[in-house]
């Protein structure tokens, strides 16, 4: 259907305030303005960050339509849009790529200045929203908002993907897979035969494990307080599983003892200060590399033993997508092609699928810890 020029009403899941249940509402979606696209959602993953947003752990404006891990089809395009056309399959991008700012133009930068994460206004590029409900303005999450049947968003926040891509699964390549997999392959540059520890075996941590395995790591230690994550972790080639709550010593001490001197690469995919410190302390003191993938709650401080900083190990941040020269619009479609060519397999990460109008069930499942990713289908 051509939506150009029309404000139409669609169903969307709205969070009216933090810590309130999502409600399915009739939402008015304005047509795309210049350099925007109107898209019809096909699927959206339930990412840990969406849960953080709903709990108010990441500062976003409410009421909002959450979700940022979407696969969709372009319905209509605004003036000046040239990279996609109606009917194209696309993925939403939390970090857009305008290709004009210092980050986009620098060979080692990708955190486009048009991103809306740090800080988040909840508005699209012209400072307005395309959503209203019951006469009230509804905010976006990170330019994306995927828990809606239709949305209008900036062209620079979508990436055209292969026509053959199965939309019920590749939504994970919009956030979880590049965040975790590329943190291991691209940012840490895990080496063949190396030892790794991954804190958090949720969606993102599982994708980190896949990246470690693909890079040839010989030992991958998985750490999680939820032992339901262990069988799936082992299927992805985690070699040792540790539940810190069942250990008599701090988990980092156990990891160091298991590996002799500490791991080559440690990843934190939870977003807690304590597990960031544990990941850092798990690394080899001389050449260990610690990658922080999770975002700790606002205003928290990371306190490290200053003596341990001097010995040579490296601490790196890998905030979702901030993977140096990993340019989102250019690189994410290649991951979809890699999936279609069976170079990576995202299928084990999609453990559940539910209809869009049951987001509460999807979050319930998420909170039980039984999922790696639950995907909403539209």
- In this chain, which residue has its C-beta nearest to Zn ion? 47
Q: CA quadruple 267, 115, 112, 327: dihedral positive or negative?
A: positive
Shortest Cβ 180–ligand COD spacing (Å):
7
Residue 109 or 369 having the CB closest to ligand COD: 369
Residue 217 interacts with which of Zn ion, ligand COD, none, CB < 5 to 8 Å by class: none
Residue 130 interacts with which of ligand COD, Zn ion, none, CB < 5 to 8 Å by class: none
Residue 233 interacts with which of ligand COD, Zn ion, none, CB < 5 to 8 Å by class: none
Residue 171 or 223 having the CB closest to ligand COD: 223
- Which listed range, 32-40, 126-134, 188-196, 217-225, lies at the site for ligand COD (CB under 6 A)? 217-225
> What does the per-residue mask of binding to ligand COD show for 244-283, with x meaning CB under 6 A?
x------------------------xxxx--x--------
233 binds ligand COD (CB under 6 A): no
Shortest Cβ 68–ligand COD spacing (Å):
6
Shortest Cβ 327–ligand COD spacing (Å):
17
Shortest Cβ 175–Zn ion spacing (Å):
4
Name the β-bridge partners of 315: 290
Of residues 125, 177, 204, 290, which one binds ligand COD by CB under 6 A?
204
58 binds ligand COD (CB under 6 A): yes
Residue 80 or 119 having the CB closest to ligand COD: 119
175 binds ligand COD (CB under 6 A): yes
Residue 25 or 69 having the CB closest to Zn ion: 69
Which amino acids are annotated catalytic? 47, 49, 52, 68, 175
Show contacts with ligand COD in window 90-109 (CB under 6 A): 94
Distance CA 114, CA 99 (A): 10
Count, residues near ligand COD per rule CB under 6 A: 32
Of residues 320, 329, 344, 374, which one binds ligand COD by CB under 6 A?
320
Distance CA 171, CA 325 (A): 22
Distance CA 208, CA 366 (A): 19
Distance CA 357, CA 377 (A): 9
Residue 277 interacts with which of ligand COD, Zn ion, none, CB < 5 to 8 Å by class: none
Residue 147 interacts with which of ligand COD, Zn ion, none, CB < 5 to 8 Å by class: none
Residue 78 or 271 having the CB closest to ligand COD: 271
Order of strands across the sheet that contains 289-292: 240-242, 219-223, 195-199, 265-268, 289-292, 314-317
Residue 248 or 342 having the CB closest to ligand COD: 248
178 binds ligand COD (CB under 6 A): no
Of residues 56, 137, 369, 377, which one binds ligand COD by CB under 6 A?
369
The site for ligand COD (CB under 6 A) is made up of 47-49, 52, 58, 68, 94, 175, 179, 199-205, 223-226, 229, 244, 269-272, 275, 293-295, 320, 369
């Amino acid at each position: 259907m051509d939506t150009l020029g029309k404000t139409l009403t669609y169903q969307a899941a709205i969070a009216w305030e933090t810590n309130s249940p999502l409600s399915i509402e009739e939402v008015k979606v304005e047509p795309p303005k210049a350099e925007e696209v109107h898209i019809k959602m096909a699927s959206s993953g339930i990412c840990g960050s969406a849960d953080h947003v709903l709990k108010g752990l990441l500062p976003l404006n409410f009421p909002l339509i959450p979700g940022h891990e979407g696969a969709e089809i372009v319905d209509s395009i605004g003036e000046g849009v040239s990279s996609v056309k109606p009917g194209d399959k696309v993925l939403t991008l939390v970090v857009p790529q305008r290709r004009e700012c210092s980050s986009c133009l620098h060979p080692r930068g990708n955190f486009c200045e048009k991103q809306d994460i740090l800080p988040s206004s909840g508005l699209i590029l012209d400072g307005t929203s395309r959503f209203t409900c019951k006469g009230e303005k509804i905010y976006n999450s990170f330019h994306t908002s995927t828990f809606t049947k239709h949305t209008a968003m900036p062209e620079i926040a979508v990436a055209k993907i292969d026509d053959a891509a199965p939309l019920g699964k590749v939504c994970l390549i919009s956030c979880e897979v590049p965040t975790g997999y590329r943190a291991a392959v691209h940012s840490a540059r895990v080496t063949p035969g190396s030892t790794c520890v991954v804190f958090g075996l949720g969606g993102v941590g599982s994708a980190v494990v896949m990246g470690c395995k693909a890079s040839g790591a010989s030992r991958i230690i998985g750490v999680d307080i939820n032992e339901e994550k262990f069988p799936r972790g082992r299927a992805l080639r985690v070699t040792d599983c540790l539940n810190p709550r069942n250990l008599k010593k701090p988990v980092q001490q156990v990891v160091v003892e298991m590996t002799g001197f500490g791991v080559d690469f440690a990843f934190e995919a939870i977003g807690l200060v304590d597990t960031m410190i544990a990941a850092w302390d798990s690394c080899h003191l001389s050449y260990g590399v610690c990658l922080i993938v999770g975002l700790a709650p606002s205003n928290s401080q990371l306190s490290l033993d200053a003596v341990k900083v001097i010995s040579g190990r490296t601490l790196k941040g890998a905030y979702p997508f901030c993977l140096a020269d990993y340019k989102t619009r250019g690189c994410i479609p290649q991951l979809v092609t890699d999936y279609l060519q069976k170079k990576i397999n995202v299928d084990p990460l999609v453990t559940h699928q539910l209809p869009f109008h049951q987001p509460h069930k999807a979050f319930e499942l998420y909170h039980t810890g039984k999922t790696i990713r639950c995907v909403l289908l539209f």
